[in-house]
């Protein structure tokens, strides 16, 4: 029998009769977790998708103050026609005030550039599934301590500023990825539009997202103990979606200050001016307030769905073939030394435990179906 009685630290009485709580020390647990996390560092994988020429690379460089595509080759129109969708990765280590972040940017050159874009999102969904599969392999192996997390935590999808809402390829892409990754839609190059045009386009995109049942990333509700200022900022973030963004690597001077922006004959567009675009709100959401939530949803929701599907498939194969074909890597049997035999025994024991677990899950599923 387990007791859930809640105890408080014992209270001692001082010489003058006042109560003084005896200090145990578990109140330092958050500090311990913080030190360990900072020492280990953090990782985040961000995917950017959209047609060529929508400012994806420029926006990423503006967000993280880095240059990830300095050696990129620009394709001409003829080369773009024959180009297929590719997946490219760029990893950079960033440090800010002692906090280390391993940032991986997954780019998708060629997406939406062909004349026939039928299932042009297939290489992208396959890549996301491959990262889930690799993590499942590592998680089911022996060296679980040093697992490298390459799962995609967020996908920024760039919607063209011209047009009157979502195109068929936009709808199909977001619906194909909605159960695999956190999709955050953006209106790119919003400096092409007037403020009134931006409001109308945002309203139209939101209406079509609801109409077609597209599941984009939903901001979590604020805790009840949050102050009013935090709640107000949260409301502003939710009301600003889809974010209308501008990116620029140029530094221009305005009002005696140097800012990042774009210089036009009629004036200057400032990237970090909230009256010009939603860049600051996107950066706040993506980096300062919701990065951990994006990772949590990836782990607890999208990856768990993939993992449950894998286990269900393994269970079905066990029923039909009386054997388990799992994506767990099998150890090589090259030399029968002591270390190899030890690893083989550990692997056999792990497979036996997994088979027992699958049988129990099968029995539980059968019991639920009978009910």
Looking at the structure, do residues 64 and 180 belong to the same domain, yes or no? Answer: yes
Question: What is the pLDDT at residue 133?
Answer: 92
Residue 250: pLDDT band (50, 70, 90) is: confident
Looking at the structure, do residues 189 and 106 belong to the same domain, yes or no? Answer: yes
Distances (CA, A) of 143 to 40, 348, 352: 17, 15, 18
Question: Are 21 and 10 a contacting pair, CB within 8 Å?
Answer: yes
Residues above pLDDT 90, as percent of the chain: 27
Looking at the structure, do residues 289 and 337 belong to the same domain, yes or no? Answer: no
**Domain encompassing residue 343:** 333-371
Residue 24 lies in a domain: no
337: pLDDT strictly greater than 60: no
pTM of the model: 0.75
Helix (H, G, I), strand (E, B) or coil at 25: coil
- Last residue of one domain, picked from the residues 299, 322, 353: 299
Based on C-alpha coordinates, what's the Rg of the chain? 26
- Last residue of one domain, picked from the residues 276, 299, 322: 299
Which CATH number fits the domain that encloses residue 149?
Answer: 3.40.50.300
246 CB-near residues (< 8 Å, 6+ apart): 55, 189, 190, 191, 262, 269, 271, 276, 277, 279
Q: Kindly report which listed range (39-48, 133-142, 283-292, 333-342) carries the lowest average pLDDT score.
A: 333-342
Give CA 267 to chain center in angstroms. Answer: 36
Helix (H, G, I), strand (E, B) or coil at 186: strand
pLDDT 10s digits, 324-334: 455 554 444 34
């Amino acid at each position: 029998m387990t007791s859930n009685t809640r105890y408080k630290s014992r209270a001692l009485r001082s010489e003058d009769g006042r109560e003084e709580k005896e200090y145990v020390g578990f109140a330092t647990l958050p500090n311990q977790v913080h030190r360990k996390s900072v020492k280990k560092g953090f990782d985040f994988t961000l995917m950017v998708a959209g047609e060529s020429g929508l400012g994806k690379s420029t926006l990423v460089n503006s967000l993280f103050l880095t240059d990830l595509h300095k050696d990129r080759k620009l394709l001409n129109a003829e080369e773009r026609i024959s180009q297929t969708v590719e997946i490219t990765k760029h990893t950079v280590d960033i440090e800010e005030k002692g906090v280390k972040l391993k940032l991986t940017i997954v780019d998708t050159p060629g997406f939406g550039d062909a004349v026939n874009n039928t299932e042009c999102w297939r290489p992208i969904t396959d890549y996301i599934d491959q990262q889930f599969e690799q993590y499942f392999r590592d998680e089911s192996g022996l060296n679980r301590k040093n697992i490298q997390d390459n799962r995609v935590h967020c996908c920024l999808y760039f919607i063209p500023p011209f047009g009157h809402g979502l195109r068929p390829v936009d709808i199909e892409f977001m619906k194909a990825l909605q159960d695999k990754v956190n999709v955050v839609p953006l209106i790119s190059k919003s400096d092409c539009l007037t403020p009134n045009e931006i409001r109308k386009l945002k309203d139209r995109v939101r209406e079509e997202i609801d109409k077609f049942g597209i599941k984009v990333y939903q901001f979590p509700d604020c805790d009840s103990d949050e102050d009013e200022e935090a709640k107000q900022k949260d409301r502003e973030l939710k009301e600003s979606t889809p974010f209308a963004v501008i990116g620029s690597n140029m530094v221009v001077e305005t009002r005696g200050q140097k800012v990042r922006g774009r210089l036009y004959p009629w004036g200057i567009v400032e990237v970090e001016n909230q009256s010009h675009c939603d860049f600051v709100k996107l950066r706040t959401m993506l980096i300062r307030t919701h990065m951990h939530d994006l990772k949590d949803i990836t782990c607890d929701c999208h990856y768990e769905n993939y993992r449950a599907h894998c286990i269900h498939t393994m269970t079905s194969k066990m029923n039909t073939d009386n054997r388990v074909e799992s994506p767990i890597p099998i150890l090589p049997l090259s030399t029968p030394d002591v270390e190899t035999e030890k690893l083989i025994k550990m692997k056999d024991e792990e497979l036996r435990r997994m088979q027992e677990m699958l049988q129990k899950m099968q029995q539980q599923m059968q019991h639920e179906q009978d009910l």
